[in-house]
Structure 1
């Protein structure tokens, strides 16, 4: 029996934005799809003081994503940009929206970090 359709694969790309480094993900985030994002955030945190996670193309995220964001927050100044309603709900339900810096867009996250 073939595995269930999990939807599109996760795509991760990275780029500089002022003094910060943006790690952008597109697709659902769960324990199975998270490793590429985890590698990208860990590498960015090792070389950059400020990392912006662009979540604008992430329609679904589970608790493994929350754990990764908190781990990244402990090692660098993490900003989350464009979080979709489902991720925002997890952040609000766990109270981590008060701990993590949330911005509507990458542009605003980068501007806040640079200023």
Structure 2
């Protein structure tokens, strides 16, 4: 793990049992395994929805993009609405360049994501 940009995942609960996973630091091949494990653990519990907050991510590499796509597909297979919060260039640019932004449900704020998830699960 890069000591200059430590990766952390903080899991908190939003309204009605929706977990919010806030990721900080880099999300790349070196750091994404613990994040993927945390996402898998949250999805294993089959919550009402999941919000993944990437606003504190400083770098998003291809392994991080793969993690997001895999989490989105797994959530879909489980019937768990899934949203990604991202508002920084260092996250949005790689998602746009890889055209993953067309697949992932992206929102600029947690409130926007929660509102959208409520509409999907209603």
Name the TM tier (shorter chain): 0.7 to 0.9
Pairing of 1:29-108 with structure 2 (within 5 A):
29-47=27-45, 48-76=47-75, 77-108=81-112
Structure 2 gap ranges (5+): 76-80
Corresponding position: 1:16 with 2:25:
no
SS in 2 for 1:9: coil
How many residue pairs end up in the alignment? 112
Instruction: Could you tell me which runs of 5 or more consecutive residues in structure 1 were left unpaired when the two chains were aligned.
Output: none
Are the counterparts in 2 of residues 12 and 24 from structure 1 also a CA contact under 8 Å?
yes
TM-score by length of 2: 0.82
**Structure holding more helix per residue:** 2
